[in-house]
Amino acid sequence: MALDDGTLASRIAKAGAVPDSAAETELYRRLAPRVRLYGLRHLRDPQAAADLVQQVLLFTLEQLRAGKVRKPEKIASFVLGTCRMTVLEIRRGTRRREALLKTWGDMAEAFEAPEPLALDADRLVPCLEALTERERSVVVLSFFADKQADEVGVELSISGGNVRVIRHRALMRLRHCMGAAEDEA
Amino acid sequence: MRCKNPISLELLVAYWLGEVSETRAATLEEHFFGCAHCTQRAEALVALAAGVRAAVRDGKLSMAVSTAFVEAMKQAGLHVREYRVEPGGSVNCTIRADDDAVISRLRAPLAGVTRLDVVSMPGAGGTPEERLIDVPFDAQTGEVLMIPSARRLKTMPTHTLRMQLLAVSETGERPIGDYTFNHTPS
C-alpha cells in the first residue's frame, strides 16, 4: 500500500544527515500538481506557476530536512500555507526567484514536476464544433479570457444564471465527447 | 486515489473562474491539497481552458462572439481583420497569411429579437447551405459578430457567400438582413 503524504514527510524529517531521496522525490511528484493548480489560479501564468512549484516545494523539503516543520503528518497544510505566503510575496514584488534558486540551485536539479495535463487538440476541436452555437460561444467567451458568468451574460444579453446553465451543459457534453469518466454531475 | 466526496464540476469551474468567495476558495484549496483526485480533475478543466484558447488562437473554430471578445483577442496579440456590413450590403473580403481571424460584423435591427438564426447560402464555388440555430448576439450593439474558421478560410478559393439573418419567434420567422461576401484569396 502506498504511503500517504504525511508519512512520506515524516520519513524525510527523520532521515537525518543522509536525505531520504526516494521519499523526497515521491512527495515532490505528488504535491507538484497541487501547487501548480494553486499557482495557475492565483497567478494566471504557466511559467509563474511552474516557478511557484519549485520555490514552494524546495522550501518545504529544506524545512523538513532541517526538522523545522512542526507537524510533518500535516504536510499538505504546511505546503498550502507556504503557497499563500509565497504568492503574496510575489505580488508585493519582494520574492526574488534568483535568490531562491541560488540557495537551492543544486537541490532543484534533483526534482522534476510531472508535466501538466494536456488535451488532444485534434479531439477537442470537433467536440467544440459539435456544441450548439450558444454553447460554443459561452465556452469560448468563458475560457478564452477566463470570464465569470455574469460578464459573459452581459456580453450576450442573457443572465449570469443562464450562462452557468449553458456552460455546465456544454462542459458535460465536451467531457462526454472527449471520453472523460462520468464520475460527477 | 479516488475521492469520497469529490468537488462538483460546477464548483471546479466556479473556482477556476473566480466566481466563489475568498472563504469558499480557501476551503476548496484545503481540499485540493489533500486530494490528488480532485486536483487532477481541476487540472483537466485547466487543460480544457488552455485547449479552447489554443483553438481560438490557431483559427480552428467558427463561432459567434461579442465585441468584448474581439477586444480580448486583440489584447492577446492576435491579428484581427474586420468587415462591417449593413443589411442588404456586400463587401469584398479576404484573409491574409498573417491574419489570425476575420470578423464579420453584420449590422441588423436586433431590438426585440429573441432567437436569431443565420443561414449561409453558397454562390458559385461556395460552401453548402448551412443554418446556424439560435446564434448568440448582443442586441444593444445592433451587430452580430461571426468568426469563420481562419484555418479553413485560408484554403478557400474565390467565392461568394450570402448570409441571411432570421428573427425566429413562436409565430414564425422573418429575415432581418441579407449580406454578401465576395471572397478572394490573397
Where helices occur in chain B by DSSP H, the ranges are: 9-16, 22-33, 36-57, 67-75, 150-153
d(CA B139, CA B160) in angstroms, rounded, equals 27
Strands in B159-169's sheet, in edge-to-edge order, are B90-93, B172-183, B159-169, B115-122, B130-132
Q: Identify the CA nearest to B40 among candidates A116, A62, A141.
A: A116
Residues of chain B in contact with residue A180, where contact means CB-CB under 8 angstroms, are: 44
Tally of CA atoms within 13 A in the half-sphere of A124 that contains its CB: 22
Q: Is the pLDDT of residue A116 over 80?
A: yes
A140 with B36: Cβ contact below 8 A: no
The SS3 of residue A69 is coil
Do B16 and A38 contact (CB within 8 A), yes or no? Answer: no
Q: Give chain A's mean pLDDT.
A: 89
Asked if the C-beta of A168 comes within 8 angstroms of chain B's C-beta atoms, the answer is yes
Model confidence band, residue A48 (pLDDT cutoffs 50, 70, 90):
very high
The answer to whether B136 touches A134, Cβ cutoff 8 Å, is: yes
Q: How confident is the model at residue A182 (pLDDT cuts 50, 70, 90)?
A: very low
Question: pLDDT for B90-122, tens place per residue?
Answer: 999 999 999 999 999 999 999 999 999 999 987
pLDDT for residue B25 = 97
Binned at pLDDT 50, 70 and 90, residue A90 comes out as: confident
pLDDT of A181 over the 60 cut: no
Question: How many residue pairs bridge chain A and chain B with CB atoms within 8 Å of each other?
Answer: 157
Counting other chains too, the contacts that A25-32 makes at CB distance below 8 Å and 24 or more residues apart are A25/A110, A25/A111, A27/A61, A27/A75, A28/A57, A28/A61, A28/A111, A28/A112, A28/A113, A29/A113, A29/A114, A30/A5, A30/B36, A31/A5, A31/A57, A31/A60, A31/A75, A31/A76, A31/A79, A31/B33, A32/A57, A32/A113, A32/A114
Bridge-based pairing of strands B172-183 and B159-169 is antiparallel
Place of cell 543544486: A106
Smallest CA–CA distance from A79 into chain B, residue:
B33
By three-state DSSP, how is residue B155 classified?
Answer: coil
* Best of B40, B69, B149 to mutate (most A CBs within 10 Å, chain A): B69
Q: Is A159 within 8 Å of chain B by CB? A: no
The verdict on a CB contact (< 8 Å) between A76 and B34 is yes
Range of weakest confidence among A98-102, B47-51, B147-151: A98-102
User: In this predicted structure, what is the pLDDT of residue A132?
Assistant: 96
Q: How many CB atoms lie within 10 A of CB A185?
A: 8
Residues of chain B contacting residue A184, judged by C-beta atoms under 8 Å apart: 6, 8-9, 41
Interfacial A residues in 19-48 facing B (CB < 8 Å): 30-31, 33-34, 36-38, 40-41
- Across the interface, whether the CB atoms of B10 and A139 are under 8 A apart is answered no
Half-sphere exposure of A100 (CA within 13 A, CB side): 19
Res. A111 pLDDT band, cuts 50 70 90? confident
Is residue A59's pLDDT more than 50? yes
Instruction: Tell me the three cell numbers of residue B30.
Output: 484545503
Q: Do B134 and A34 touch (CB under 8 A)?
A: no
pLDDT tens, residue by residue, B38-61? 999 999 999 999 999 999 999 999
Closest chain A residue to the Cα of B66, Cα to Cα: A155
| Structure confidence at residue B31 as a pLDDT band (50, 70, 90) | very high
Quote the CA–CA distance of B183 and B15 in Å, as a whole number. Answer: 43
Does residue A185 carry a pLDDT above 50? Answer: no
From the CB of residue B173, how many other CB atoms can be counted at a distance below 10 Å? Answer: 12
Which comes out higher in pLDDT, residue A147 or A17? A147
pTM reported for the whole predicted model: 0.90
| Cβ–Cβ under 8 Å, residues B17 and A148 | yes
Q: Which residues of B touch A52 (CB under 8 A)?
A: none
What's the pLDDT score for residue A113? 80
Angstrom distance (rounded) from CA A131 to CA B64:
12
Place A43 in a pLDDT band, splitting at 50, 70 and 90.
very high
Q: Which of A2, A65, A54 is nearest to A28 (CA)?
A: A54
CB nearest B72 (choices: A139, A144, A183): A144
Strand ranges across the sheet with B63-65: B63-65, B143-147, B101-107, B80-85
Closest chain A residue to B27 measured between Cα atoms? A80
The Cα A141–Cα A121 span in angstroms is 18
Pair B18, A142: CB distance under 8 Å: no
User: What pLDDT score was predicted for residue B121?
Assistant: 87
- Strands B115-122, B172-183: pairing is unpaired
